Structure 1
């Protein structure tokens, strides 16, 4: 009996030690992407727009949604990343995090990314809540995942054990006014990170 218990204990310890953390996200220079540091999110394919910013896309001046700059020379606005465990300093792949624009806006809103439905699309807006993981903040959690040799942003939060959220890649959808709005898409937005 003692032998069986020792074998079970050893197996459990071995499994726990064998589990590794997800790979860290790296910027264009190969440095670790860190929580609380300003970065630009830029497209891998140049000539197809610039970095990310906030803009009105709903025929009103507010709220502001997350859009891609139309000109590739524009880096957009700097952003920070806050992982589900705010004590963690390094951003890791496939881990829930909040994405927050560092700049202030003309609208009274938080600048925290969130996914919301608008005119039949799931779009990325900036009216979310930072932190407080759970059912009430499900739409505010995104993940950075490896995509070929670069990265993509995914909406597939795991902050609520009982919730079964919709999952999908974030891509760029061009609306009738020419705005390059971020939304759930079959074509992921292939990106890299550059320190601001």
Structure 2
């Protein structure tokens, strides 16, 4: 049986079209614990599903009673009385949703006794790269590169990653965000052992 020579070019064109569509597909949407879409600007608790057999959560804590405030694992588990709430602002605000592997600012809601911005920022402290506050919201580029984080799928939940792509000429260090056990601080730090997180609507 003779096969038309037109079939192969058409097949090739179809493959190229499929490849281009696949490459341009938007990253998956991040979802909260109820399966709802994580929305830009909405407030959420950051929950750690399992840590040494019990659930935990993320909050803020001062450095030895002084400023700035660092991002830490709460000593009180998921007790909301001791937790901060956080909002997420992607670099691209057009759709109003938070997507995986996308640069975003993370900000604690409300003020603090420090009187400083509550935007997450990578900082150097105690011989580690820690997640602190005092970051700048928006203005993506080389001067704000330490203020951008990403959420990625991790097992059945998510993890935080520092690997900003907001600066085309920069070569940032890329690493998962885990929990420091140095001095039992529980700070969020650069770590080879990422911790799982989920998001609960406030």
Same fold by TM (over 0.5)? yes
Q: Deviations over 1:54-94 (max 9, x none)?
A: 1112x351111111111223242110000001233110000
Aligned 1:79-118 pairs, distance under 5 A = 79-118=86-125
Alignment coverage as a number of residue pairs: 189
**1:49 touches 1:69 (CA, 8 Å); kept in 2?**
no
Does the alignment pair 1:61 with 2:58?
A: no
State the partner residue of 1:120: 127
Q: CA deviation at 1:108?
A: 1.9
TM-score normalized by the length of structure 1: 0.88
Aligned partners of 1:156 and 1:173: how far apart in 2? 19
Instruction: Give the alignment partner of residue 21 of structure 2, picking from 11, 17, 21.
Output: 17
SS of residue paired to 1:63:
strand
Q: CA deviation at 1:155?
A: 0.3
Structure 2 unmatched runs, 5+: 1-9
Q: Deviations over 1:96-142 (max 9, x none)?
A: 00000012110021100010111220000011000000000000000
Does the alignment pair 1:180 with 2:182?
A: no
Structure 1 unmatched runs, 5+: 1-6
**1:155 touches 1:167 (CA, 8 Å); kept in 2?**
yes
Q: CA deviation at 1:50?
A: 2.6
Does the alignment pair 1:193 with 2:193?
A: no
Q: CA deviation at 1:36?
A: 0.6
Aligned partners of 2:113 and 2:185: how far apart in 1? 18
TM-score normalized by the length of structure 2: 0.86
SS of residue paired to 2:131:
strand
State the partner residue of 1:71: 76
Structure showing greater radius of gyration is 2
Q: CA deviation at 1:186?
A: 1.2
Q: CA deviation at 1:11?
A: 8.0
